[in-house]
Amino acid sequence: MPLPTLARVYPGTPRHLAALARRLRAGELVAVPTETVYGLAANALDARACRKIFTAKGRPSRDPLIVHLLSASELEQVAESNAAARRLAEKFWPGPLTLVLPKKKIVPDVVTAGRPSVAVRVPSHRLFRRLLKLAGVPLAAPSANAFGYVSPTTAEHVRLGLGRKIRHILDGGAARIGLESTIVDLRDPARPRLLRPGAITRRELELALRKKIATARSASRDPESARGELAPGMLARHYSPRTPVAVHKNFPRGTAKLKNEAWVTIARPAGRAAKNIFWLDARGDLRGAARRLFALLRELDAGGFKKIHVELARGGGLAEAINDRLRRAAAR
């Protein structure tokens, strides 16, 4: 049921942070800024509070949530850790990396969608960290968008999507990274697997663990992944605007003549660009492109185009994460 009033957007003053922390402890939902995308947070140890996340997002209850901690030293409280996890935590936390590990009993089943594993990350966003500290409990949070839609990278995106479903949004500015965290399955530390590419790249993880990291999809012997349920956020169709999206290795020549279709390149094209040509970063810097991607998809979705064409990023590293989101946006 929609709420009668629109969610309020709060600045991160000490007074507002204290009030929002109290609300979280009391079992309410608060949308929070993170360095990756905005999240919809609840006390991770309160099953009733976490159930509200699924209702507000229209998220299926089989899609588990990520538990956010203030520090890696709290990891053992919610998960069964191992040497590989400690190594990655030391190197990449606080930051955009989520680890999947066997869960401890204290984590309610609703958070993990009934799985014996839990996804955990220590975020780096300054205001989210202050809120975590004041709340004094781990916070479960998926991205703060309606299920299946593009993740929000500003407080305004959250308000537009969930403004009538939630009451409180903490404004921490535009997300610095703009793509959801990298997720690594470390349940078996001898066989780490990449469940979702992100700003911490496969190469960085491999260097840290001195090991090849397979993509979960190829590990079909795992009974969970064979049923397509290992990382439900990996649903082929996800992060999708309503407007159909098509991805291209290279744009065919002359296509921009179709005025009712939008064309998105990674870098600014040479010469004068037609009105229906857009780019993610003037110089083609992939970090800039990642930061802009979801906001541009939202703008174009509202722009009345019949189709959005996007050029795939080249190279490894962040390109893998950008192209992953583009392919999901394009999947029907």
Angstrom distance (rounded) from CA 228 to CA 201: 23
- Confirm or reject binding of residue 98 to ligand TXA (CB under 6 A): yes
Please tell me the distance from the alpha carbon of residue 149 to that of residue 166, in angstroms, as a whole number: 17
Stretch near ligand TXA under the rule CB under 6 A, chosen from 63-71, 165-173, 253-261, 295-303: 63-71
Q: Is position 34 an interface residue for ligand TXA (rule: CB under 6 A)?
A: yes
Residue nearest to Mg ion (CB): 143
Joined tokens for residue 246: 């098509």
Pick the closest to residue 262 from 207, 300, 209 (CA basis): 300
Which of Mg ion, ligand TXA, none does residue 183 bind to, with CB < 5 to 8 Å depending on kind? Answer: ligand TXA
CA 46, CA 41: separation in Å to the nearest integer? 11
- CB under 6 A: which stretch of 21-29, 178-186, 273-281, 311-319 binds ligand TXA? 178-186
Closer of 111 and 256 to ligand TXA (Cβ): 111
**Under rule CB under 6 A, residue 241 binds ligand TXA:** no
Q: Which is nearer to Mg ion, 108 or 161 (CB)?
A: 161
Residue (59 or 103) nearer to Mg ion, CB: 59
User: Least separation, in Å, of the C-beta of 28 and ligand TXA?
Assistant: 17
Q: How far is CA 247 from the centre of its chain?
A: 21
Written as one string, the DSSP assignment of 281-296 is ETT--HHHHHHHHHHH
CB of residue 238 to Mg ion, shortest distance in Å: 7
Residue 84 binding result from ligand TXA, Mg ion, none, given CB thresholds of 5 to 8 Å by partner type: none
Long-range contacts of 212-218, Cβ-Cβ distance < 8 Å, separation of 24 or more: 213/184, 216/185
Site string for ligand TXA, 272-311 (x = CB under 6 A): ----------------------------------------
What phi, psi does 328 have (nearest 5°)? -70, -40
Does residue 143 interact with ligand TXA by CB under 6 A? yes
Residue 59 CB, shortest distance to Mg ion, in Å, is 8
Cα of first residue to Cα of last residue in the chain, in angstroms, is 28
Beta strands across the sheet bearing 66-68: 8-10, 168-170, 30-32, 39-43, 139-140, 66-68, 117-121, 97-102, 182-185, 193-196, 214-215
Q: Radius of gyration (Cα) for the chain, nearest Å? A: 20
Residues 172, 12 contacting (CB under 8 angstroms): yes
Q: How far is the CB of 75 from ligand TXA (least distance, A)?
A: 14
Please classify residue 219 by burial: count the beta carbons closer than 10 Å to its beta carbon, then call 0-12 exposed, 13-18 middle and 19+ buried. Answer: middle
Number of residues that bind ligand TXA (CB under 6 A): 29
Nearer to Mg ion, 52 or 91 (CB): 52
Half-sphere exposure of 288 (CA within 13 A, CB side): 11
The entry of ligand TXA, Mg ion, none that residue 208 binds, CB within 5 to 8 Å by partner kind: none
Q: Is 112 in the site for ligand TXA (CB under 6 A)?
A: yes
Q: Is 216 helix (H, G, I), strand (E, B) or coil?
A: helix
**Residue 317 Cβ, how far from ligand TXA at the closest point, in Å?**
17
Asked if 232 is part of the footprint of ligand TXA (rule: CB under 6 A), the reply reads yes
- Which span sits near ligand TXA by CB under 6 A: 153-161, 202-210, 224-232, 290-298? 224-232
243 near ligand TXA (CB under 6 A): no
Positions in the binding site for ligand TXA (CB under 6 A):
34, 36-37, 39, 63-66, 96, 98, 100, 112, 115, 117-119, 121, 141-143, 180-181, 183, 195, 230-234
